[in-house]
Structure 1
Amino acid sequence: MGYKKILIAVDNSICSEKAAKIGYDTAKNYDAEVALLNIVEPAPAATTPDFTLAPVFLEVYDNSEENSHILLKEIENKYGKGIKTSYFSVLDTASHGILQQAEDWGADLIVMGTHGRGGLYRFLVGSVAAHVARKSACPVLIVPTKADV
């Protein structure tokens, strides 16, 4: 079985950088294209008295989207080495955004890192990687924080 479309979910962390490297290495081995995905999680909406979004919220989102594009370009420049790459910056929750974008783009494989949090934090908040792995229609490669790359 080969992979032709690899979705790599990244944020601004060490674990996602490791996932990006492994995702691009996998793409090279399978002659696959890559989509880099960064989720911009929505901030709590603040509204004005007439129930329109406050300008502060819109400014924060614009800044987050711009930072997201910069992050994706930096990752491609570092690991891409000529591999065809698409960018997706999506305003959504992490799990839903990854699953939805993988389906929309037709990914054969999702590559993502895990922060490796455990204990009470994982019990209360849950793991994005675990949720994506349970719900995904395609294989999910989860790169642990402790991985040597």
Structure 2
Amino acid sequence: MNLRKILIAVDNSTCAEKAAKTGYEIARTFEAEVALVNVIEPVPATISQDLTLAPVFMETYDNSEENSHILLQGIQDAYGTGVKTTFLSVLDSAAHGIIKQSDEWGSDLIVIGTYGRTGLYHFLMGSVAEHVARKSACPVLIIPNKADI
């Protein structure tokens, strides 16, 4: 297996931290570079005809983009010492954004954490990790939240 580019999908959760730690360990083993991707999901809003909510939406997006960069920088500082890292922050749905960024960046592997939810919540909400694994053009390593990493 020739891993040169590893995309690690992260959000502000413990399972994302576990995925980041594992992804960076793999990157060091294969001397690969990493892209950290954080997807900013659009806030559903009802916009009136006079577009009064448009400035509010843009301000919210700007804050989210800034927070995303802070998150990515913190993860790189914690786990990415010595590994070339690219930051990707995109406005999209989680699974679609991860897959699109992986395709555009040319990932050889996607590393993603999972909350491990089951039952009704899983049925209603689905799993981002499962969706990414089904639709990705490259292998996907799913790190369970229960993993003691």
Task: Identify the TM-score tier after normalising by the shorter chain.
Answer: over 0.9
Match of 1:14 in 2: 14
Match of 1:3 in 2: 3
Match of 2:73 in 1: 73
Match of 2:124 in 1: 124
Match of 1:63 in 2: 63
Q: Encode CA deviations 1:28-85: one digit per residue, 9 max, x unaligned.
A: 0000000000000001134243347521111111100000000000000010111000
Shift of 1:145: 0.3
Task: Give the 3-state SS of the residue equivalent to 2:23 in structure 1.
Answer: helix
1:138 is aligned with what amino acid? C
Task: Give the 3-state SS of the residue equivalent to 2:112 in structure 1.
Answer: strand
Number of aligned positions between the proteins:
149
Matching of residues 1-149 of structure 1 within 5 Å:
1-51=1-51, 54-149=54-149
Provide structure 2 residue ranges, at least 5 long, that are not aligned to the other structure: none
2:134 is aligned with what amino acid? R
Task: Give the 3-state SS of the residue equivalent to 1:37 in structure 2.
Answer: strand
Cα RMSD, aligned residues only: 1.1
When structure 1 is superposed on structure 2, of 72-81 and 39-48 the one drifting more is: 39-48
1:68 is aligned with what amino acid? S
1:64 is aligned with what amino acid? S
Output the TM-score relative to the length of structure 1: 0.96
Question: Quick check: 1:20–1:111 contact (8 Å CA) kept in 2?
Answer: yes
Q: Percent identity?
A: 66
Provide structure 1 residue ranges, at least 5 long, that are not aligned to the other structure: none
Task: Give the 3-state SS of the residue equivalent to 1:130 in structure 2.
Answer: helix
2:44 is aligned with what amino acid? P
